[in-house]
Chain A
């Protein structure tokens, strides 16, 4: 009888039921869309952050560059006498941060709740290639008349002009990262996949092997097996890597010891990548490192996330603030409308419920009937809302608006990490912009939330109506319609 009565009543009042269901659907759909967009923002932000320090890294330890070292400029010496011949000179500089002793990684690794810690060296190579051509002396036209038309040497030198000559140089700058090949699960290379050739292995600690980022390799026509000369040392390209986020942390990856040699930075690193044993302990680990390894800057992913600016940050903030509050407001409004409509439906059925009570139906049974109808309304609203939300999320993913994340450009990083915010990446000496396509993934948790909201909406509406129905006294109910 419960289901028969319920089904017939819903069919009879299908317009009102549809209004209630659509109200709830709107609210629930909005919650799903906002939630999925918000997840998409988080994922995008995660990708951006991952491109900086790699997968699994919870924090990095660096030492900010001093003002003096930051202004040191590379010196190049070229011989102007070797006219016409190609000359090349390159300089390898430690990038962005002051170096730390390699032992810092071990020291950090010994801190409580630290699962592992590996060091890395962040370098910038500036290479200049080109030729000098000496100018040619052209004797002056009036030399026979003894007139002087200038030129070095005055009257004692043959009179004439030096014409032509000059210099043509290419400057090429790229980033090199020295990775600890004993553990490649942490650090920038961990966020890249080897798409051609092989990766670096623990056996490559002393080898003159290099892994080159795919986009840099394409730009410079480098393939597996090519040779790369850095500061006179030839490296064999053993693999090509592609960053998961499409934006690599460095152009070239070398074994750490090789990178240290290139930069004359024996036993030096710029960054320690740290993985905590428990994600709940990240703050504690940060505090412990700051206390036990003085003079360093510890930057967690949360710190770095706060330095992300640009449209990704704005959109993320919009989704988490305006979007969330808007969906809450719409949900509350939908719940209230559902409650009032259910209550009003009970008012219109006073005689019906009065009659049932006169027949011996308990208040609880009448209330359950009203609650049941409201719950079904809620579930219909939930189903429509899920469809609406999925459509919204699908539309966002299909459109895939491109968001721009600026890293470290919006101010100094937490803890004085310097421009670039996070201490580990190879490219963040200056503010860096990453384009990310927004997606709106809908998780099972979001769907469960939607179902719970639908049930909640139905229950709230049912409570309004059920409360009214339970308070009806049969005599009053029957009298009111006479």
Chain B
């Protein structure tokens, strides 16, 4: 589980200092789903980066199963990202020159999986998101929704403990958004993932069992009953 205590992130922008996060305390239990909502520049993505070990807080601690990500060396932090955390980005962030299958394989490369097994696992992951027929397609040959499915397959192929999604439906139309959210929620339930979503979308927020709102770097958490 995650345990964040007094997490502060301060940036310098020229002569000014910006407090992106101000003393955040947050606990996320294993298998929880948390939706983080808030205005642009409120600190949502920064908080997600702290949870994913992509950035370090200026102050405070980010414990994942008792390991403080804020204090880990770069090599170990990279290993934690490779083994335990899956990321989904708003812009999909697929490698444009690699096929869908190869894009999914990139998540298995740091784990040292044998190429043959890697290809098979990637194919299975794509099958599980409904893209079994699109293995050899380049991202440019796929729709936005399909690209996001490839990104989801890439995040899940290594069977992570945590899934972090940053505006996963931000670039999709409503129908595709619903498809993707249904897929993600299904996977979350089936696999018992700890799932954190950052979103602007109120429709997604309404469906969340637990909603956190972040404004000017300050977080408030509300337990809610999904509508």
- Given A8-B97, A360-B107, answer yes or no on A355-B115 (Cβ-Cβ < 8 Å): no
What residues of A have a CB within 8 angstroms of the CB of B79 in the complex?
360
Residue interface bits B81-98, CB-to-A below 8 A is 1, else 0: 111000101110101111
Give the contacts of B75-132 with A (CB-CB under 8 A): 75, 78-79, 81-83, 87, 89-91, 93, 95-98, 102, 105-107, 109-111, 115, 118
- Given A352-B95, A479-B45, answer yes or no on A361-B52 (Cβ-Cβ < 8 Å): no
Q: Judging by beta carbons under 8 Å apart, are A358 and B95 in contact?
A: no
Nearest A residue to B110 via CB reads: A360
In angstroms, how far is the closest chain B Cβ from the Cβ of A6? 10
Q: How large is the interface on A (under 10, 10 to 19, 20 to 34, 35 or more residues)?
A: 20 to 34
Residue interface bits A1-13, CB-to-B below 8 A is 1, else 0: 1001100110110
User: Is A362 close to B, CB under 8 A?
Assistant: yes
Contact of B89 among A355, A357, A363 (CB under 8 A): A355
Q: Judging by beta carbons under 8 Å apart, are A365 and B110 in contact?
A: yes
Q: How many residues of B contact A (CB 8 A)?
A: 31
What residues of B have a CB within 8 angstroms of the CB of A5 in the complex?
95, 97-98, 102
In angstroms, how far is the closest chain A Cβ from the Cβ of B195? 17
User: Is A473 close to B, CB under 8 A?
Assistant: yes
User: Is B154 close to A, CB under 8 A?
Assistant: yes
User: Is A478 close to B, CB under 8 A?
Assistant: yes
What residues of A have a CB within 8 angstroms of the CB of B81 in the complex?
357-360
Q: Judging by beta carbons under 8 Å apart, are A475 and B110 in contact?
A: no
Task: Provide the main secondary structure of the chain A interface.
Answer: helix
What residues of A have a CB within 8 angstroms of the CB of B30 in the complex?
none
Q: Judging by beta carbons under 8 Å apart, are A478 and B82 in contact?
A: no
User: Is A351 close to B, CB under 8 A?
Assistant: yes
Q: Judging by beta carbons under 8 Å apart, are B97 and A356 in contact?
A: no
Most chain B C-beta atoms within 10 Å of own C-beta, residue among A8, A351, A360, A473: A360
Number of A-B contacts (CB under 8 A): 80
CA distance A399 to B79 in the complex (A): 63
Nearest B residue to A359 via CB reads: B107
Q: Judging by beta carbons under 8 Å apart, are B75 and A356 in contact?
A: no
Most chain A C-beta atoms within 10 Å of own C-beta, residue among B52, B109, B111, B115: B109
What residues of A have a CB within 8 angstroms of the CB of B52 in the complex?
358
In angstroms, how far is the closest chain B Cβ from the Cβ of A376? 14
Contact of A475 among B55, B74, B98, B115 (CB under 8 A): B55
What residues of A have a CB within 8 angstroms of the CB of B110 in the complex?
359-362, 365
In angstroms, how far is the closest chain B Cβ from the Cβ of A353? 10
Nearest B residue to A12 via CB reads: B97
User: Is B49 close to A, CB under 8 A?
Assistant: yes
CA distance A351 to B139 in the complex (A): 15
User: Is A482 close to B, CB under 8 A?
Assistant: yes
CA distance A481 to B90 in the complex (A): 11
Q: Judging by beta carbons under 8 Å apart, are B93 and A11 in contact?
A: no
What residues of A have a CB within 8 angstroms of the CB of B83 in the complex?
360
Q: Judging by beta carbons under 8 Å apart, are A362 and B45 in contact?
A: no
What residues of B have a CB within 8 angstroms of the CB of A481 in the complex?
91
CA distance A426 to B7 in the complex (A): 95
CA distance A217 to B89 in the complex (A): 91
Nearest B residue to A473 via CB reads: B55
- Given A1-B115, A362-B110, A365-B109, answer yes or no on A482-B45 (Cβ-Cβ < 8 Å): yes
